[in-house]
């Protein structure tokens, strides 16, 4: 069953651990790509120096200021896309970065999307935020997509037990890295 809007209308710190284990689905043409979310990070808007919304609304981060349940996609380092789930009420600008996904459906398409080959083609397909976006065909065109629609959405799945979730400081950032807002399914 598709996750409904109410799930997204809460704080990123509440949604982040609860989104672990949920199924990310991208229907593109005749292909459906799906994977279990295994690692995320929470970003708390204008009060978080690591958030894209820290300095207020811009053309780049405008989607973050929408009501929760949208996909915020941004381009980074001049070469990669990363995707976030917008959370909370409109104007709060909180989001959950999808850092890793375990592929479940459409793996052959994911391998082609990542331009993978050889003996390692079936490992490390979506175990990083940029790898996830490449594997799932997510780019600028998906920025702002309503996650309650039919093209990209989250399917409900059994909750991950709290003792199976590891909470650590966020990684890959320079500001706000001391807070333990990274959530990973253990093992």
- Per-residue pLDDT of the chain (187 residues), as tens digits, is 999 999 999 999 999 999 999 999 999 989 999 999 999 999 999 898 888 888 988 888 999 999 999 999 999 877 899 999 999 999 999 999 999 999 999 999 999 999 876 666 677 899 999 999 999 999 999 999 999 999 999 999 999 999 999 999 999 888 888 899 999 999 7
Coil/strand/helix, residue 142: helix
* CB 170 within 8 Å of CB 161: no
Q: Look up tokens 């120096």; give the residue.
A: 49
What gap in Å lies between CA 5 and CA 153, rounded to an integer? Answer: 11
Domain that holds residue 71: 5-185
What gap in Å lies between CA 17 and CA 128, rounded to an integer? Answer: 17
What gap in Å lies between CA 155 and CA 132, rounded to an integer? Answer: 17
What gap in Å lies between CA 90 and CA 52, rounded to an integer? Answer: 16
Q: What is the pTM of this model?
A: 0.94
Q: Is the Cα dihedral 100, 103, 104, 110 positive or negative?
A: positive
What gap in Å lies between CA 87 and CA 12, rounded to an integer? Answer: 6
Q: Is the Cα dihedral 80, 76, 186, 71 positive or negative?
A: negative
Q: Among 23, 32, 12, 44, which residue's Cα sits nearest to residue 159?
A: 23
* CB 97 within 8 Å of CB 84: yes
CATH code where residue 76 lies = 3.10.300.10
Which whole-number Å values give the CA distances from 117 to 10, 121, 160, in the listed order? 40, 5, 32
> Total domain count for the chain?
1
């Amino acid at each position: 069953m598709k996750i409904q809007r109410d799930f997204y209308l809460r704080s990123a710190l509440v949604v982040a651990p609860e989104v672990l284990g949920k199924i990310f689905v991208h229907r593109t043409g005749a292909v459906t790509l799906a994977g279990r979310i295994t690692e995320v990070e929470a970003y708390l808007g204008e009060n978080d120096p690591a958030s894209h919304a820290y300095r207020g609304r811009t053309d780049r981060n405008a989607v973050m200021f929408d009501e929760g349940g949208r996909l915020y996609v941004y381009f980074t380092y001049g070469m990669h896309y990363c995707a976030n789930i917008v959370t909370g009420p409109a104007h709060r600008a909180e989001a959950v970065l999808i850092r890793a996904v375990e592929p479940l459906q459409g793996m052959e398409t994911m391998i082609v999307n990542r331009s993978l080959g050889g003996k390692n083609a079936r490992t490390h397909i979506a175990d990083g935020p940029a790898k996830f976006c490449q594997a799932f065909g997510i780019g600028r065109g998906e920025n702002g997509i309503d996650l309650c629609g039919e093209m990209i959405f989250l399917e409900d799945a059994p909750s991950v037990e709290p003792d199976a979730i590891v909470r650590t400081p966020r990684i890959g950032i320079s500001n706000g890295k001391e807070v333990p807002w990274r959530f990973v399914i253990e093992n």
